[in-house]
Amino acid sequence: MKTPFRVFLLSLCALAANGFIQAEEPLLNMKELLDTGTLKVKVLKDWHTVRGSITTRQKLVSISVGDLLPGREYRVPVRMIVPSGRKAKGFHLTGGHQQSRIERDAQPRGVEKDLLEGGVGLVYTMVQVLAQSGQRELGNAARRKFAETLNPRYSIQYWGWPAALVRAATTAYAEKDHFEPGKVALSGGSKNGASPSVAIIHDKRMTAVHASVSPIWDSPLRLCDRKAWDELRKYNESYVEKLKKKDPGLRTSRLLRHAFLGGTYGPVYNDEALDAGKKWKDLEALAARMADQVFISRNLKALKARKVDLLFQPGTHDFVAFDIAWGGKHHPGIPLYLRANSGHSIREKHPAREKDEGNKTAFLLNHFFGGKDALLEPPTVTTSIKGKRLTVTVTFKPGSRAESGRIWWMYDRGPDGSAAYIRETFPADQWKDMKFDAGKNAWTAEIDLAADASRIDFFSNHRKTIRHGSEKHSSYLSSPYTRVELK
C-alpha cells in the first residue's frame, strides 16, 4: 500500500512542476501587497502646497505593484492629496486617470472638494491598459502568457488592476504624517468599477464601492457554463439571420463574436486560450476558481459583516454588465441604480430618464459623513396578472422614504449576453409614473399588456434626497430587474 501511495505523491509533484496543478492561493496576496518595503517608491514631486478653490498638499510618486510576469515589474503612478494644514482621515481612491493628467497638480472640485473640506483625502492612480503608461510590451506579453497558462497572476484584469489599487492604498497609509486610518471608498466605471469590486473583497481597509458598467455576479455565462454558451450562440445566429434578411449588408462579426459579451470578468479570453491549446474544461475550472475571488455576489455575507457600503450602476444595455435579468432574479438584495437605456456606447437616451441623478456624490458624502438621510435599501417586487393587465407593487422597508416612483418595461427582450440584449432599447413610450400607497409604503403601477407578448421585463426607479450641509443631492435606487413570463 505504501509504494502505490508514494508513486501517487511523486506523480502529483511532477504534475505541479509542469504547471498542470495550481495551488488554490488567494488571487491577491495581501501580505505581499501590504508590504511597504517592496513599493520601490520613486518620488516624482514631493509634498508641496497647491492653491485653488481649496488649498491642498499633494505628492506624486511611482510605485511597484509587483511582477506581472516573472522578473517583469508593473509600475503605476500615485498622486496623494490631503487638506492643507492637517492629516487626512481615510481617502477616496480612484484609478480612472490618464498619465498626462495625473502628472499635473489636481484642482479638486465637486464632491472631491467636499471630501477634502471634511478632512478626507484623495488618492489617484492609473487602472488603464499598460500602453497608456508606457508598458505596452509588458501588457502584450502578459496577455499571451495568460492565454497559454490561464494563470490569473499574469492577467492585468484579474490581478494587475486590483493589486494596483491595493498598493496605492498601502502607499498612502505609509505617509503617516499626512494620512491617518479612516474609511476608504473607491469609485469608477468599467475597469475602474470592476477592479475596486475585486480589491474590496480582499482588502479589509476598504469600506465602500460605487461602481458602474462592471461585473457584479456569477451568472452561468460568466462561469463558462457550456450549455449557456451553446444556447447563446444559437440564439445569436438566429437573431443575426433575421437582421440580415432586413439588411443584407449588415456586418455581423461583432454581433456573433463580441469582445466582451459572455466574458467571465471583462473581455472574452476564451478563443485565445483555446487557440493556445487549452480546453473548455480549463476555462470552466478557471472561472470556478475565480468566482469567490472576484464576484461581489459571492462575498455579500463577509462584506456585510465588515459594514461595507455598495452601490452599482450596471446599465440596462451594457456589454460588460450583460446579465441584469439573471442578477435581478438571483441577487435582488444588491443595491442597483438602472438608468433606462444606459451602458457602454449607448447613445439613445430615454426621454423619461432621471436628469438630476447625483448618486456618486450622495453615496460618498453619506459614506464618509453620515447624517440624518440614509440611502434607500433595495425594495421587494410582487406582480399579479388579471386578464391582459399586469400589476406591479414595489414595497420598501418601514421607515424608508422613497419620494418618487417610475417604471420602464420592454416585451420579449433577448436573453442576457445576447446581441439583441445590447441592441434593442426600452421604447420611448413604455414607461409611467407609479402611484404611492402610504399605508403599505409601496409604489404600484398597472401595465396593459401587449396581446402578442410572451414575456415582459421591467424595473422601477425611486428618488431620495440626501442632504449635506446646505446642499441637496438626488439619489436613486432601482427595484430588482424583473422578468415575467406571460405565456
Query: pLDDT by residue for the chain (487 residues), tens digit each?
Result: 344 444 444 444 434 433 333 446 899 999 999 999 999 999 999 999 999 999 999 999 999 999 999 999 999 999 999 999 999 999 999 999 999 999 999 999 999 999 999 999 999 999 999 988 889 999 999 999 999 999 999 999 999 999 999 999 999 999 999 999 999 999 999 999 999 999 999 999 999 999 999 999 999 999 999 999 999 999 999 999 999 999 988 888 888 999 999 999 999 999 999 999 999 999 999 999 999 999 999 999 999 999 999 999 999 999 999 999 999 999 999 999 999 999 998 988 999 999 999 999 999 999 999 978 899 999 999 999 999 999 999 999 998 999 999 999 999 999 999 999 999 999 999 999 999 999 999 999 999 999 999 999 999 999 999 999 999 999 999 999 999 999 8
Backbone angles phi, psi at 398, to 5 degrees: -55, 135
Residue 385 located in a structural domain: no
Give ∠ CA 228-231-234 in degrees, rounded to 5.
150
CA distances from 88 to 173, 176, 177, 243 (A): 10, 10, 9, 56
Query: What's the structural domain count of the chain?
Result: 1
Residue 342 located in a structural domain: no
Residue 135 located in a structural domain: yes
What range defines the domain where residue 45 resides?
11-205
Residue 110 located in a structural domain: yes
Residue 87 located in a structural domain: yes
Residue with cell 443584407: 248
Contact criterion met (CB below 8 Å) for 207 and 113: no
Q: Supply the CATH number for residue 111's domain.
A: 3.40.50
Give the torsion through C-alpha atoms of 226, 227, 231, 236, to 10 deg. -10
d(CA 341, CA 155): 31
d(CA 159, CA 152): 6
Residue 194 located in a structural domain: yes
Give ∠ CA 64-65-71 in degrees, rounded to 5.
75
C-alpha cell at position 307: 459594514
Residue 179 located in a structural domain: yes
Contact criterion met (CB below 8 Å) for 209 and 185: yes
Residue 71 located in a structural domain: yes
